[in-house]
Amino acid sequence: MSGIVGYVGNRSSQEILIHGLKNLEYRGYDSAGIAVSNEKTIEVRREKGQIQDLEASLQLDPILKGNLGIGHTRWASHGTPSVTNSHPLSDTNGKYFVVHNGIIENYRELRKGLVADGVDFQTDTDTEVIPHLLAKYDTGNYLDTVRQVLPLLKGSFALAIMCSTYPNTIIAISQENPLIVGFGLKEGFLASDISALLPYTKEIYPIKNNEIAMLTSERITIETLDGEPIHPKKVLIEWDQEEIDLHEYDYFMLKEIMEQPKTIKKTLEGKIKNSHVRIAELEPLLNQYEFHHFEKIDIVGNGTSYHSGMVGKKVMEQLFRIPVEVHISSEFSNEHGHLSNRNLVIVLSQSGETADSLSALKEAKRNDCVTIAITNKKRSNIARIADYMLLTNAGPELAVAATKAYTSQITSLILLTIFLSQHSDKTNAYDYTELLDALVQLPDVVEQTLIMTQDAIDSFAQVTNDQDHLFLIGRGLDYVLALEGALKLQEVAYLHADAYAAGEVKHGTMALITPGVPVIALATQAHLRGKLVSNIRELKTREAFVVGVTTVGDDAVGEVVDQVLYIPEAHPYLMPIVAAIPLQLLAYYAGTVRGYNVDRPRNLAKSLTVE
C-alpha cells in the first residue's frame, strides 16, 4: 500500500521521485504526488489515478526544478481517493509538507483540538493533522519542532517531511512502518522499500523506531528521539535491478508464476544435506528449547499466507503429536486461547510488514510465546521482532497477487516440519526419505507442470470469459488449494469464485448449482479421490460443468468430469504446490482475457500496513 520516496543531491529530484514511485507502484495506490524544493520555494503537484496521470500533468504544466523532494503513492484509507486527499499535505501557511504511510490512530482527538484552535482542515485524511501540528508547535527549529510533535502521534507511521525554512533538508521517521535511507555520493534517498532504490544505490539503512533521519546533500544523520547520535550500520541490498525488471513478460504476475522452479530451488538451497534438513538460522531455537518443550504450534497469516499456513497445519499435525492450529492474523491478535511460553507461534508474511500479522506477532510475544517469522523480507518489522526468522528467499514479488511467495512459504513450512521432527520425540514415526527426495525433485516437477498446463489453462480461461461465478472443490489438502485458487480468481479476474470442502457442497451450496455452472474439482490426493468422485457425480447430476485437476495416471476423475487437466504426481504433501500452478495460471489468463491489469487489481495493495 502507500509508498514514500525522497531525494536530495545534485540531480533533478522530479525524475528520481517519479521513477522511484513507479518502482513502488506494485504496492497498490489510487493517487500520487510530489513536492520539490529548489532551496527557495517548495512546489507540490498531486493527481488522482496513476503515476502516468501525474507525469502528464507535470508535462502539461511543469513545476519548478529542484534537487530535493519527496513523493507519495496513496492507497486510500481515510477519505476517498481524490486530488485533495492525496499527499504531500501541508499546513495552512504552506510551511511543512508531509507524506505519510500508516495510520495516525488518535487523529480524531488531534483534529478536534486543532479545529478548536481555528485550523481549517482541507482533507478527510488522518495525515493532515501532522503538518498542522508541526505548524502549531513550531519552535523555529525544524528538528526540534518534529521532536515536539512525534510524541503526540499514536499508531504506526512512516513520514517524510519538508520545511520551507530548511529547504535543503528532509526529515524522515519510521515508526512500525518501513522507511529506508539510501546512501549515494553527495546524495541521499528515501523509500518505503528497496525496489525504489535499486537503480541508485545498494547501500541502505532501514530507519528504526524512535529514530529521526535527516537528509541533506552533504550528509545523512540519524539520531534517537532524545538526540543521541546513531552511527547507521549500512547494509547491502542483495536484490538486483534485473530481478525487478519485466524482461519479456507483459505482467509481473506471469513472470513470477514462471519463476517458481527457480524460486523453490532458492528456498531449498543449502537446507537438505545427507538426507537431513539443516536450517542454520533456526539452530539457536533448538539450542534453547527441546522440541518437547512446546505444547502447541500456532500458525498465523493473512490471505495467501493464511492458506500456506493451512497447508503447514495439515502436514504438521500428521507428523507431530501436539496440536497445531492455524489462525487469521487479524482474529488472533484480538482473540485467542491460552498462550504461554509453551506455544510456538509461526508468523507467515511475504512482506514482513502486514499490520494484522505484526499485531498477532506482538500479541504472541506479549504472552511469552516463542516466535518464528517465515518471510521473504529479511529486514522487515516482522523479521526483526520475531525471535527467529526463516527466509523464504523467493526474490522480489511485485505483482499484488502472491504466487511464488505461496509456493516458497509451503516449501519453507515443510522444511521446518522436517527440521523440527528431526529433533523431537513428539512425532509420529515417519520416514522422511521419500519426502526429502520429493522436495529435491520439486523444482523440476513444477517446471514440468508449467509446460504441461500453460496452454490448456489459457484456452480454458478464454471459455470462462462469460462466467461470473465459479466453484472450486477439494478434500484435505485439495480443499486448502481450492481456497487459494478461489482467492486468486477473485483478486485478478474479479470472478466470484468460492471454495468448498467437497463433502460440504450437498449441505447447502448445491442449491446454487444450475446447468453449466463451472466447477473445478481438485483431485490431487489419491487417498481421497474415491469420495471426491462421488461428490463430482452429485454435481454432474445437477448438470454443472466440471473440470477435474488430477495427476497423470488417474482414470477415475477423467471418467466423470467434462474436461480433465493432468498434472505430474509428486508427494501428497507437495501437491498443494504443484497443483497451485494451473490455478495461478487460470487466474492470470482469466484476468488478462477480461482486460484487467492483473498486477494491480482494483482496491488491493501489496503490503497492508493498516489493520
Q: Report, in Å, the least distance between residue 126 CB and ligand F6R.
A: 21
Residue 305 binds ligand F6R (CB under 6 A): yes
User: Helix or strand or coil: residue 435?
Assistant: helix
Rounded to the nearest angstrom, the gap between the alpha carbon of residue 494 and the centroid of all alpha carbons in its chain is 19
Residue among 130 and 461 whose Cβ is closer to ligand F6R: 461
Among 304, 330, 359, 421, binds ligand F6R (CB under 6 A): 304
Residue 608 binds ligand F6R (CB under 6 A): yes
What's the CA gap between 128 and 133, in Å, rounded? 9
**Dihedral of alpha carbons 513, 514, 520, 523, sign:** positive
Asked if 491 and 588 touch (Cβ cutoff 8 Å), the reply is no
Residue 302 binds ligand F6R (CB under 6 A): yes
Residue 303 binds ligand F6R (CB under 6 A): yes
Asked if 322 and 297 touch (Cβ cutoff 8 Å), the reply is yes
What's the CA gap between 611 and 609, in Å, rounded? 7
Q: Total binding residues for ligand F6R by CB under 6 A?
A: 15
Residue 491 binds ligand F6R (CB under 6 A): yes
Residue 584 binds ligand F6R (CB under 6 A): no
Asked if 70 and 88 touch (Cβ cutoff 8 Å), the reply is yes
Residue 349 binds ligand F6R (CB under 6 A): yes
Q: SS3 for 126-142, per residue?
A: CCCHHHHHHHHCCCCCH
Residue 401 binds ligand F6R (CB under 6 A): yes
Residue among 145 and 305 whose Cβ is closer to ligand F6R: 305
H or E element at residue 289: none
Which region among 40-48, 297-305, 420-428, 501-509 touches ligand F6R (by CB under 6 A)? Answer: 297-305
Residue 193 binds ligand F6R (CB under 6 A): no
Determine the residue with CB nearest ligand F6R. 303
Residue among 129 and 361 whose Cβ is closer to ligand F6R: 361
Calculate the alpha carbon distances from 524 to 125, 168, 355, 477, 497 in Å. Answer: 48, 61, 34, 8, 20
Residue among 95 and 377 whose Cβ is closer to ligand F6R: 377
User: Helix or strand or coil: residue 25?
Assistant: helix
Q: Report, in Å, the least distance between residue 531 CB and ligand F6R.
A: 29
Among 73, 77, 263, 354, binds ligand F6R (CB under 6 A): 354
Residue 359 binds ligand F6R (CB under 6 A): no
What's the CA gap between 564 and 543, in Å, rounded? 16
Residue among 85 and 333 whose Cβ is closer to ligand F6R: 333
Beta bridge partners of 189: 7, 182
Residue 85 binds ligand F6R (CB under 6 A): no
What's the CA gap between 51 and 25, in Å, rounded? 8
Q: Report, in Å, the least distance between residue 472 CB and ligand F6R.
A: 15
Q: Report, in Å, the least distance between residue 280 CB and ligand F6R.
A: 23
What's the CA gap between 285 and 152, in Å, rounded? 38
Calculate the alpha carbon distances from 226 to 135, 136, 151, 248 in Å. Answer: 21, 21, 11, 50
Residue with C-alpha cell 446447468? 515
Residue 357 binds ligand F6R (CB under 6 A): yes
Q: Report, in Å, the least distance between residue 275 CB and ligand F6R.
A: 31
Q: Report, in Å, the least distance between residue 195 CB and ligand F6R.
A: 14
Task: Give me the residues that bind ligand F6R (CB under 6 A), please.
Answer: 302-305, 349-351, 354, 357, 401-402, 487, 491, 607-608
